[in-house]
């Protein structure tokens, strides 16, 4: 699965790197990081605090958790000229997809992951699969595997960090949605997203049987195309070459608490 990740870039830098239009409002891209907790992840770990972090300022974050506002990459036509060529655009979205038909935010399941194999069959994701696909940039992601029992006999979980061996960024396939508050028509729409997961491959299977769906650069244009559906093969697990480029290292259990945030979370144990 993918319930936590780390990212060390800002909207302007990311947009420059990939030649995209930066559409992140200045108010969302600045300000101190909020270390408040969030809902439980698939690791079995949880933090304290509210389930609504959609307004959290963007910036370097070593412990990104669901409901946080995150950076995404989409390819869309211009609002002023819908017939022009689509362009890459960097947008801020809530991590945890809110379907367009939802009555309110935060009352349904926390849809921060979607299974790539079945997303097209689910009412929450069906429309997004057709025309609202995105990329989620990250330095790497965390996953937990069962560890030995502690001194009280309780099971433990050992955190690991998976990231490109060459130190580059990795982009995960995602889906996004636009939600409007029908009780307040004048409020701005909420953009939200989910990260697709697939069967783990290669050495990554030793950590967890699922992994986020890595989208190689060569497939970006086809995956993000707003005018055509993505071919089924892009929803399949990545090849061994892609998985082989990902390094795995055990990291400190400090990452188990969302309130902990800093580069020391990435240090190998």
CA-to-CA distance for 97 and 129, rounded, in angstroms?
Answer: 12
Whether the predicted pLDDT of 92 surpasses 70: yes
CA atoms within 13 A on the CB side of 68: 31
- pLDDT > 70 in the chain, percent: 90
Question: What confidence tier does 54 reach under pLDDT thresholds 50, 70, 90?
Answer: very low
Q: For residue 59, what pLDDT is reported?
A: 79
Q: Which residue has the tokens 């945030």?
A: 261
More confident site: 16 or 84? 16
Average pLDDT over residues 83-105: 94
Average pLDDT over residues 90-118: 94
CA distances (Å), 42 to each of 113, 143, 237, in order? 10, 9, 19
Q: For residue 48, what pLDDT is reported?
A: 31
Average pLDDT over residues 32-39: 35
Whether the predicted pLDDT of 234 surpasses 80: yes
Q: For residue 150, what pLDDT is reported?
A: 84
Q: For residue 211, what pLDDT is reported?
A: 97
Q: For residue 243, what pLDDT is reported?
A: 86
Considering only CA atoms, which of 104, 112, 102 is closest in space to residue 39?
112
CA-to-CA distance for 44 and 195, rounded, in angstroms?
Answer: 18
Q: Assign 116 to helix, strand or coil.
A: coil
| pLDDT per residue as tens digits for the range 174-229 | 999 999 998 888 899 999 999 999 999 999 999 999 999 999 999 999 999 999 99
CA-to-CA distance for 247 and 170, rounded, in angstroms?
Answer: 12
| pLDDT per residue as tens digits for the range 122-172 | 999 999 999 999 999 999 999 999 988 888 988 899 999 999 999 999 999
Average pLDDT over residues 1-6: 92
CA-to-CA distance for 89 and 73, rounded, in angstroms?
Answer: 6
Q: Which CATH superfamily is domain 4-25+57-256 in?
A: SOS response associated peptidase-like (3.90.1680.10)
Kind of pairing, strands 246-250 and 113-115? Answer: unpaired
Hey, where are the domains in the chain?
A: 4-25+57-256
């Amino acid at each position: 699965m993918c319930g936590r990740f780390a990212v060390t870039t800002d909207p302007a830098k990311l947009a420059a790197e990939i030649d995209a239009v930066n559409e992140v409002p200045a108010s969302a891209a600045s300000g101190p990081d909020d270390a408040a907790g969030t809902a439980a992840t698939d690791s079995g770990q949880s933090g304290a605090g509210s389930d609504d972090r959609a307004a959290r300022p963007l910036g370097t974050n070593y412990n990104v958790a669901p409901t946080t506002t995150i950076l995404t990459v989409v390819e869309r036509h211009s609002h002023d000229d819908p017939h022009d060529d689509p362009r890459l655009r960097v947008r801020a979205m809530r991590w945890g997809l809110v379907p367009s038909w939802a009555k309110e935010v935060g009352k349904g399941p926390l849809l921060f992951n979607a299974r790539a194999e079945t997303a097209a069959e689910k009412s929450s994701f069906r429309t997004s699969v057709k025309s609202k696909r995105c990329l989620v940039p990250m330095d790497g992601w965390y996953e937990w595997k069962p560890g030995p029992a502690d001194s009280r006999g309780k099971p433990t979980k050992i955190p690991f960090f998976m990231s490109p061996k060459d130190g580059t960024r990795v982009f995960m396939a995602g889906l996004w949605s636009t939600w409007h508050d029908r009780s307040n028509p004048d409020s701005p729409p909420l953009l939200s997203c989910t990260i697709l997961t697939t069967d783990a491959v290669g050495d990554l299977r030793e950590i967890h049987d699922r992994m986020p769906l890595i989208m190689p650069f060569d497939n970006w244009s086809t995956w993000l195309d707003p005018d055509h559906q993505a071919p089924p093969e892009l929803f399949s697990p990545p090849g061994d070459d892609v998985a082989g480029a990902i390094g795995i290292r055990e990291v400190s259990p400090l990452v188990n608490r969302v309130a902990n945030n800093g580069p020391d979370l990435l240090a190998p144990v």
